[in-house]
Chain A
Amino acid sequence: MNYDAIVIGAGMSGLAAGIRLAMFDKKVVVLEKHSIPGGLNSYYRRSHRQFDVGLHALTNFIKKGDKGKPFSKLIKQLRIPYDDFKLMPQTYSKIQFPDCTLKFSNEFELLISEVSEKFPNQIDQFNKLVEEVKNFNELDLNQAYASSRDVLKKILSDEILIEMILCPLLIYGSAWENDMDFAQFVIMFKSLYFEGFSRPEGGVRTIISLLMKKFEEAGGEIRFRTAVTEVIVNEKNEAIGVKTEKEELRSGIILSSAGYPETVRMTPKLSMMASPRVGAMTFLESIFVFEKKIPLDQNDSTIIFYNDSKRYSYQRAENFFDPNSAVICYPDNYESLNREGEGIVRVTFMANYDQWKNLSKESYLTMKEKVGESAFKLVQNLNPNFDGQMVFKDVFSPTTIERYTWHLNGTVYGSIDKTRDGRTPVKNLFIIGTDQGFLGIVGSILSGISMANLHGLMNGAET
């Protein structure tokens, strides 16, 4: 079979790339190893309940009609009307450290006033940082890498403020431990603090079904349970197709959303020329279902970035998981949701892949139980007056993530080494998605769009 383009992976970036290519009459097939779409942002069902795998919040919130933002770009490039996403904005979120809490919402002014109230001697410097972020061109695919901590230390002098600002940005998108590339920092700062959070009504399924529908309408082909076993490269160092377990497919270009190290692994020729490092950051997610929702007068925040010491440690957990910090998500606390029915709380801890990988079946279950207890205790501490009974609990681990996404070591934010223009040393083989460097759902979708435009529709010529 011959195609104009093969896309590996039916996650956010793969589907978006597929849509763009199919829209302009390219013959494109998306190959997905799993039986359902979504990739790192998929969904599952347990005990008659629907859960999202990873979605806490959709970043880059815009109101209908807002212009020139990443989300508005996505709407136009995919031609999906704003209203179809059914976005429900967050109430507000907070960064909670031992002696200080900073609130932020979809109105950036809230964070400014919080900083000026809690760090009065830093507000001028903070405004300077904001200017720097505003003027930085994070979309330049040729930006040099720089440490965000170094940049922040030059501007801000209060270490706690630096830690607090970094905390949500690191855990919502850094493949590096304890730091992030400054271009990434700028993307995340704008996505989280300037623009903010929302959640589509119906969760991640709403987005996935919009993408699937658009792709099919545009004439794209998608195959599930179809694993690519090898990317075929000819003597001229050009990718010319892929092998699946059943057959060989030929194609002019290949866009892989499997991850950079994962793509290297399926491309013997590439493994001689590139060795992107597998990241260390992987997570544990505990999901609790309560018989009722936490009343808003007890807790009305959407997401809490919790840390119990002055320094924020964002690194591979030393001992299976790190209970000293967490992200607590209250998916019920988005605006315009009704208050009836069961309540859900999600808790994310940083984890240690190697330790989880080496557990016996029995100790694995015991350890998962321990994580659940720790997360539950944290939820209780944060909601001391809530008396709702827990009716269901699920914990998933780095090995669960690896099992369903085939991301080496259960990494969620991919490789430490990104390829910003998507190019690899093999011609016609491109990386899209997390390892191209745009993160989160909106980032991944934009990655798929921009890489499909650049390499699939414009033959590599940037406008």
Chain B
Amino acid sequence: MTAHNIRQIVLDIIADIAPDESVDSIDDSKSLREQLDLDSMDFLDIVMELRKRHKVEVPQEDYPKLATLESCVAYLSPKFA
């Protein structure tokens, strides 16, 4: 799966979790938490959706690796390989 696909997977999940946020203007290198109104509960949702939709497991100690869109893609790429 390409980096572009993985980026889209994460964006789709965020768009569902935060129905009022616009995901078009996200800066890939900046913290998702700061750009969007996401808290720890919401990150848990991202992780649970990755498991539910794509059978990808993210252990709790790896949550910080989901901080930006860039780091999400880098971290998730091997898991989608």
Contact = CB atoms under 8 A, between A and B. Distances in A.
Interface stretch (A40-48, A68-76, A252-260, A342-350): A68-76
Contact of A76 (B37, B48, B52): B37
B67 interface: no
A76 B18 contact: yes
Contacts of A457: 44, 48
Interface in B3-27: 16-20
A409 B60 CA distance: 45
Nearest to B38: A76
Given A65-B20, A82-B20, A77 B37 contact: no
Given A72-B37, A77-B41, A457-B48, A64 B20 contact: yes
Interface string A52-88: 0000000000001101100011011101111000000
Contacts of A76: 17-19, 37-38, 41-42, 45
A453 B44 contact: yes
A77 to B, nearest CB: 6
A67 B38 CA distance: 9
B18 A463 contact: no
Contacts of B18: 76
A77 B44 CA distance: 10
B62 to A, nearest CB: 13
Contacts of A65: 20
Contacts of B45: 76-77
Output the residue of B16, B45, B52 with the most chain A CB within 10 A: B45
A25 interface: yes
A453 to B, nearest CB: 6
B39 interface: yes
Interface string B36-74: 011111101100100010000000100000000000000
A365 interface: no
Contacts of A77: 41, 45
A9 B40 CA distance: 28
Given A75-B20, A79-B16, A79-B19, A463 B41 contact: yes
A458 interface: yes
Contact of B48 (A24, A73, A79, A463): A24
A24 B37 contact: no
A73 B41 contact: yes
Contacts of B38: 76
A463 B38 CA distance: 14
Contact of A75 (B19, B40, B44): B19
Given A68-B37, A453-B41, A24 B52 contact: yes
A81 B26 CA distance: 19
Contacts of B48: 24, 457
Interface in A254-296: none
For A25, A81, A457, A463, the residue with the greatest tally of chain B CB atoms inside 10 Å of its CB is A463
A80 B40 CA distance: 19
Contacts of B20: 64-65, 75, 81-82
Nearest to B42: A76
Interface in A16-34: 24-25
A76 B19 CA distance: 7
Contacts of B16: 79
Nearest to B19: A81
Contacts of A67: 37
Contacts of B17: 76, 79
Interface of A: 24-25, 64-65, 67-68, 72-73, 75-77, 79-82, 450, 453, 457-458, 463
Per CB-CB distance, the 9 closest pairs between chain A and chain B, nearest first, are A67-B37, A81-B19, A463-B40, A82-B20, A76-B18, A24-B48, A76-B17, A79-B19, A81-B20
Given A24-B48, A79-B17, 16 more contacts: A67-B37, A68-B39, A73-B39, A73-B41, A75-B20, A76-B37, A76-B42, A76-B45, A79-B16, A79-B19, A81-B19, A82-B20, A458-B44, A463-B40, A463-B41, A463-B60
